[in-house]
Amino acid sequence: MRTISSSQPKSRELLENEVLPVIETFLKERGLELSSEKTQITHVEEGFDFLGQNLRKFKGKLLIRPAKKNLHAFLTKVREITKDNKQATAGNLIMLLNPVIRGWANYHKHVVSKKIFGSVDYAIFKILWQWAKRRHPNKGKRWVKNKYFHLLGDRKWVFSGTLPNINGKSKPLHLVRAASTPIRRHIKVVGIANPYDLQWTNYFTQRQRKSLQQSVSS
């Protein structure tokens, strides 16, 4: 969906009659076009979802957060993986969940996500707690806790398991936390920078190099 936001109601007509045609012409020259069904004009204070994130202006400040639909889809995927692996070991389940959690958190680490990351970790904990209890219906809560949820540094209740290494020995494995992903604000592109202008090639190359370095360090 392509969303064109308006900061003032009176600008809707301007967007429809002047801005939208300019965008359509720009895209047409490059073999692209806007979908009339998926393109909408909305007030920026009402907010809109785009690529899994919600953009909305609060008291003059634009905030970007993970969209509710995206959050729901992510937790649904975690539940499905857990449900489909009722008989898996804790280590194997962690191997399946860690890339999903890490990938989702990395996607949203540039926006206002810190509190949402914390709530996601708690939701996943509840999912795994139910998974663990169902595996051992005749065991008490303390036994289940001691078997699957361990202390890791200053972190308590860390879902843990083991996997054999190349020597056949067991190695510990722990569930990653979304909240452990550092929030790194996206650096805005210089307003006059043009990716189609060769004089800005070095600028965009440096941005891409810095982004790659941050990804590696994460």
* Averaged pLDDT, 13-18: 83
Q: Determine the residue type at 111.
A: V
Residue-wise pLDDT for 52-105, tens only, equals: 999 999 888 999 999 999 999 999 999 999 999 999 999 999 999 999 999 999
Per-residue pLDDT at 44: 81
* Averaged pLDDT, 127-139: 96
Residue-wise pLDDT for 172-204, tens only, equals: 999 999 999 998 887 788 889 888 989 999 999
Average pLDDT, the chain: 89
Q: Using an 8 Å Cβ cutoff, are 84 and 131 in contact?
A: no
Per-residue pLDDT at 9: 47
| DSSP structural state of residue 29 | T
Q: How far apart are CA 70 and CA 178, in angstroms?
A: 15
Per-residue pLDDT at 184: 86
Per-residue pLDDT at 1: 47
